[in-house]
Structure 1
């Protein structure tokens, strides 16, 4: 019995460690022309020595944003991001290494990765899947699966609300019946 508890705790701690160490993954949908904040939070402790924002599907080895030795290296930046990508907080206070991408275009659609380096090592912190749609289309938040205003939908919402009302009424009736003599027969009184 004691051995099975130990195995359970080891498995639980291992699972928790893997979950907490995994990178953040976000999905964003915007319209062309919008400014986008690609959010990433590095360690708040220590000095961030390296920051790489890349887009793996670029045909070159260039970056969206490349920071090292306390400065931006524009010569490592892909030409399509020149003058469009900047740090949200140039001092990177509290580990904020988010990048603002100005004037989005359809070509910005794709996967973005944020790598942060400190203490001689670099690690993937955040992965963002960005979808940029034509301004004539409708943008929405792909995280919640809703329409452009974030609404889930009237029919499913009403169905859930109706089900909750039925459950609440049933619970009230059970409690009322249990605590009330109105439903008792004359023989039970």
Structure 2
């Protein structure tokens, strides 16, 4: 079997090792990857998808012009980086939670900490609440947003952020 025929199977196995990122049923859903091309580099443990890339699994949808999946030594996905104009991410974090919609020029997903980092023209929205700036980090499990701090090693000053928080109804439970 030629390497090119083997590539889609191996790439799907890489993505299938993603941990459950939100709704419990998401991890049981099939993973679909659409792209114009794919390259697998076994020595670097990466798979690169190019051209209008769309990755879906359950409620999760990640898009970009180029998506790179990096795996650890055990073959589990450790990091996904999506670049686009913009790259987008949507997912429903839990049964009673509103959908999270995010976009940025670069989106990084860290599997071990289940954290999404939005870089450059970042915007994250859930239930009408928005966070905008040059850098936004979202902890999926804890549902914690951190906006305005530069990434580690970035010595530049972050730009200003804008946050819009919708008023709660008096009978509505406190839920970020």
Q: Which interval holds the TM-score relative to the shorter structure?
A: under 0.3
Point out the structure with the larger helix share. 1
Give the structure, 1 or 2, with the largest relative contact order (CA under 8 Å, sep 6 or more).
1
For normalisation by structure 2, the TM-score amounts to 0.25
**Bigger proportion of residues as strand:** 2
TM-score of the aligned structures, taking structure 1 as reference length: 0.24
